[in-house]
Structure 1
Amino acid sequence: MTSLPIPATTTCPDFGQLLQTAVEQAFNAVIVTDAGQQNGDFCIIYCNPAFCRMTGYTATELLGRSPRLLQGPKTDPLVLQKLRECLEKGRFFQGSTVNYRKDGSSYLVEWSISPVSDAHGKVQAYVSVQQDITARVRAEQRQALLARALNATQDAVLIADKQAQILFVNQAFEELTGYGSDEVQGDNPKFLQSGERKPDFYIQLRDALARGESCNTMFTDRRRDGSIYHAAQTITLLQDETGIIQHYVSVTKDVTELVMRTQELREQAHRDALTGLLNRRAGEKRLQHCHRAAQMEGRGYALILADIDRFKSINDRFGHEEGDRMLKRCADVLSRMVRSGDAPVRWGGEEFLIVLSDCKLHAAQDLAERVRRAMAAERDVVVGTITLSLGVAAWQPGESSTALLRRTDQALYRAKADGRNQVAVAF
């Protein structure tokens, strides 16, 4: 292997040896070619051991040969053309293409070629620093393939570092949340929280992740436009070889439609098909809930039981279709008059129950009277005036819900027996 040409301007007596040793031990491959005086072709006049390792040739096999021996079918002719143009003009060149080793295997090489000129500016040689970038390019290709695959999936994917700062989100995440990738880079995903989950939910989630547990759970999050969506989310931990958490990978499936449909079906199961009020089963649950609160917290509650007066005669005279219409009209009045949170119940037939949580007897009596007057003020073009009889009772300490309901029903019976269209109270 020949020695490197040493610049004439150096004043250090050991510089030549230092330069020779540095290039010989360099990680990157280095070759020096002449200026192409022989038939316009360039000949290798120096190559370091790294270049020999990269190409599979010995220095003896390379010296005096043209670098063209490394070219093959996949070597990019456009890159070679640009290389020749730069060398002809004595300019620096940088590029990459496919070269071939002595055994015929291909590799991706990245070149940086600089002309070496004498004191008069005449090019004397070219120095090429090269690097086998095959592994790097393949890794980049795999990374690009992974990114394309993640962007192709319909599930939202988020990758965060160990500080829970977002490193990557796919297109499905952008479409689901309305946030662009550039907007969320470096942020903590908590900006998605809608506030509909209690703080304990997130505390338990963080504790589970800190213990190294992957999590499958349901989130109720908020999009950029403020709308709520429901997400079935899997959070997986990525650990290094020592078991230290390095990244979090979240895969989210939008289940908003499923959740809304489930809620709708559940709501339908609790609603009376004709009036839209709570059905008896749901009313019984509401009653038991109020009763437990009364027992545990001492908060009283009251009941109003209302019945449409002479409903059978309405059906007999005008038909069941008009009777159903009166039931719906009565339900509308009840829904309009009750307090927020005190939903009326279709208890059965033409009978309605209102469960009034945290309510005293006098307040329940006042409400019943307002309901009675509102219903009596309704004037139907077909049926005319329809009225309600109402019974009212308030819970007494130690009393069961069944006993309270029985007293309310007895009060209603008195209201009907005393002439209807009135409120009777059970004291």
Structure 2
Amino acid sequence: MKAIPDAISPQLLLQAVEQAFNSVLITDAQPAPHGPRILYANAAFCALSGYSTEELVGQTPRILQGPLTDRDVLDELRQCLRDGRFFHGSTVNYRKDGEPYWVEWNISPIRDAQGTVSHYVSVQRGFSELVAAQNTSQLLFEALAVSHDAVLITDENGVIEFANPAFEAMTGYAVAEVLGRTPAFLRSGEHDDAFYASLYESLRAGRPFHATFADRHRNGHIFHADQTISPVRGRDDNRTHFVSIIRDLTARVRHEQALRDAASLDVLTGLYNRRGGESLLERIYIGAREGGAPFGLILADIDHFKAINDTFGHPAGDRVLQRVGRLLRACVRATDGVVRWGGEEFMVILPHCELRAAMEQAERIRARIERTPQPEVGPITLSLGVAQLNAGETVASLIDRTDRALYEAKRQGRNRVCSAD
């Protein structure tokens, strides 16, 4: 047995054990069936278990066991004690008040001068808080895994460290594809520089950023998402990560767009109605003014339409309007706008189109309508007025000039194209 240095007295050793942070329990080596009896417990052990020293001495450590105590761990412990071997393990023990707690054991045999095991010393460490933290982490992981909202976690430099299955489903990218990248690969080009400048400014200032993002799916289509990006701070209050909670809004955005389209479309022809046409006209007007591009406008009116209704009935007149609408749509570019401006009057909006080209387009429309047979009512014709936006002109002035050109076409005998100039 190793001798105790003279500088360390038994009293000092006792004080060291008594004041130790870890729990210390000493038992004798009494064999089964009763097993070892507790001879000593330090203050840390009493605090951990809730028992006083007087309540522990003379008892077996079995008073600490309960329903959740792992029987396999106990069997291994008993086998080590029988073999006189060191034991290390962990399981659940119970406090005096019945509360379970996790404990890690190190139990060593103490031998006498003849080498016989006479006592056991157990050094224990409670780690219920650690287990609780691990359980909480596991619970959080499982919650994120089943969340319908996508969750993305990046480091302070924006490098992705975590993405949940909902992120995969929403974006089409597998987690393995995005780890180590920044979210920039999702950019669709729908947002301008000011949008991202606002985002970065908020995050640098430590503020959450919330907005509706238009991102690009792995397959190429754009999806819309409500996203909140929040900074995460460590114990020293320094920013360590960013967490993004992302909710797919694509279905809602499409529904809202459908409602807007429904409010902007003519029920009979499927073309823009007057409200939708005015909105489109304003957007193209602003683009033409800002970009300096030419902008043409056509107003067309079905000749003698009242006579068609009076002679063949309004249902027949409605079918004429529908066929004219389809023909107009077929005659123009995909970028042009076709509007049922009112009654039997139609508007064609021609961005990036000078007056000469607009006149040629109007003539093609007139000729196409004239030569297209109309069941029920026979041939029909259009009168058309054409104008180009002048420098400094308002939309109202442009429409007025185009309408006067249409009136002139009717005055000259109908089935013709007249220019506002």
TM-score normalised by the chain length of structure 1: 0.79
Alignment of 1:7-156 (within 5 A): 24=17, 28-29=22-23, 41-42=35-36, 51=45, 54-55=48-49, 66-72=60-66, 74-85=68-79, 87-88=81-82, 93-101=87-95, 106-113=100-107, 128-151=122-145, 153-156=147-150
2:356 alignment partner, one of 349, 355, 362: 362
CA distance in 1, matches of 2:55, 2:279: 92
**How much does 1:159 deviate?**
3.8
Alignment of 1:2-401 (within 5 A): 6=2, 24=17, 28-29=22-23, 41-42=35-36, 51=45, 54-55=48-49, 66-72=60-66, 74-85=68-79, 87-88=81-82, 93-101=87-95, 106-113=100-107, 128-151=122-145, 153-179=147-173, 184-240=178-234, 243-293=237-287, 295=289, 297-401=291-395
Where structure 2 has 5 or more consecutive residues not aligned to the other structure, the ranges are none
- One-letter amino acid matched to 1:249: V
Does the CA contact (< 8 Å) of 2:280 and 2:337 recur in 1? Answer: no
Q: Deviation per CA, 1:214-240: give whole Å up to 9, x if none.
A: 222111223444443222223333335
How has the CA–CA distance of structure 1 residues 122 and 332 changed in structure 2, closer, same or farther, with 3 Å as cutoff? farther
**How much does 1:420 deviate?**
3.1
**How much does 1:46 deviate?**
8.2
Over the aligned positions, Cα root-mean-square deviation in angstroms equals: 4.1
Moved more, 417-426 or 134-143: 417-426
CA distance in 1, matches of 2:128, 2:279: 69
Moved more, 262-271 or 404-413: 404-413
- One-letter amino acid matched to 1:239: R
**How much does 1:80 deviate?**
1.7
How has the CA–CA distance of structure 1 residues 249 and 269 changed in structure 2, closer, same or farther, with 3 Å as cutoff? same
How has the CA–CA distance of structure 1 residues 303 and 122 changed in structure 2, closer, same or farther, with 3 Å as cutoff? same
**How much does 1:206 deviate?**
1.2
**How much does 1:335 deviate?**
1.3
User: Secondary structure of 1:205's match?
Assistant: helix
- One-letter amino acid matched to 2:302: I
How has the CA–CA distance of structure 1 residues 395 and 124 changed in structure 2, closer, same or farther, with 3 Å as cutoff? same
Does the CA contact (< 8 Å) of 2:226 and 2:248 recur in 1? Answer: yes
User: Secondary structure of 1:391's match?
Assistant: strand
Where structure 1 has 5 or more consecutive residues not aligned to the other structure, the ranges are none
User: Secondary structure of 1:238's match?
Assistant: strand
How has the CA–CA distance of structure 1 residues 191 and 32 changed in structure 2, closer, same or farther, with 3 Å as cutoff? farther
Q: Structure 1 vs Structure 2: percent identity of aligned residues?
A: 49
CA distance in 2, matches of 1:290, 1:254: 31
- One-letter amino acid matched to 1:234: T
Moved more, 71-80 or 320-329: 71-80
CA distance in 1, matches of 2:279, 2:345: 17
**How much does 1:284 deviate?**
3.0
CA distance in 2, matches of 1:28, 1:82: 23
Q: Deviation per CA, 1:251-289: give whole Å up to 9, x if none.
A: 333222222121111122222221121222332344444
CA distance in 1, matches of 2:394, 2:221: 44
CA distance in 2, matches of 1:124, 1:222: 73
How has the CA–CA distance of structure 1 residues 214 and 38 changed in structure 2, closer, same or farther, with 3 Å as cutoff? closer
**How much does 1:360 deviate?**
1.6
- One-letter amino acid matched to 1:364: A
**How much does 1:363 deviate?**
0.8
